[in-house]
Amino acid sequence: MNWLAKINFKYIFHRLGAFKSALLVLFFCTLLFYIGYRFGNFYHSYQQITILQQKSRLQKLYQEQEKSIDKINTLEIELEIERMSNQKSIAMLHRVEAEHFKVKKELGFYEKVMAPEKQAEGVVIDNLTIYSTNSPNHYRFQLVLVQQNKKKRYAKGYVAMNIMGSLNNKPSSFYLTKNAHITRQELSFNFQYFQMINGEFTLPKKFNPEQIQVAAILPKSRWQKYHRLTKTYVWAIN
């Protein structure tokens, strides 16, 4: 700006005269006004373009927001429908389980009444559970016997167990008292209310078990008649 300070405006106005000096000042003012006007128009146009771009972008964002809201509403409705469906399925499952338990209980009652061969002097084979062990083909079993007579006397007898399946692709049977070296004394029972009989056995390597038949035998004595109760289970490991 040193060059601007060196200009002597008084000298220039004196040389040009009042009229020309006024014209010069008017020219520069007009030039500055024109430059400012053009710059303002350019900046105004730039602002207009920027505003239009922002409006267009904002409109797109609004549209995307509306689509997102519609999608969220749809998903919420689907989720509510799925939740209601799951609740109905769970309620139906509970009803089916309750009905199944009721039918099973009634079936057990009618079996005792209509099928006396499934109980002997009130003695019932309540449950048989087979357990696997860490040794190959070696298993443990637990047999539960229950007496259901109101006037419970001591039930005495023994159990015979026969595992039926296939050996080398041929039908075969495996008697515990014969093949597993379990004595009759180990399978004997003498109880008034219930008794659990436990034991172990090892099956041949190529023997494929399919069913296990349990027989509760009550020999004839002074206090009881001879009875034989037989029940067959599908082979299942717990």
- The pLDDT value given to residue 213: 94
H or E element in which residue 145 lies: strand 138-147
Distance CA 104, CA 101 (A): 5
- The pLDDT value given to residue 41: 65
- Phi and psi dihedrals of 193, rounded to 5? -115, -55
- pTM beyond 0.75: no
Contacts of 187 (CB under 8 A, 6+ apart): 158, 159, 160, 161, 176, 177, 197, 199
pLDDT by residue for the chain (238 residues), tens only, comes to 454 455 555 666 566 566 666 666 677 777 777 777 666 666 667 677 777 788 888 888 888 888 888 888 888 888 888 888 888 888 888 888 878 777 766 665 555 544 444 555 568 888 899 999 999 999 999 999 988 766 667 888 999 999 999 998 899 999 887 777 788 888 999 988 889 999 999 999 889 999 999 999 888 888 778 888 899 999 998 8
- Phi and psi dihedrals of 221, rounded to 5? -150, -175
**Contact present, 123 and 159 (Cβ < 8 Å):** no
- The pLDDT value given to residue 114: 44
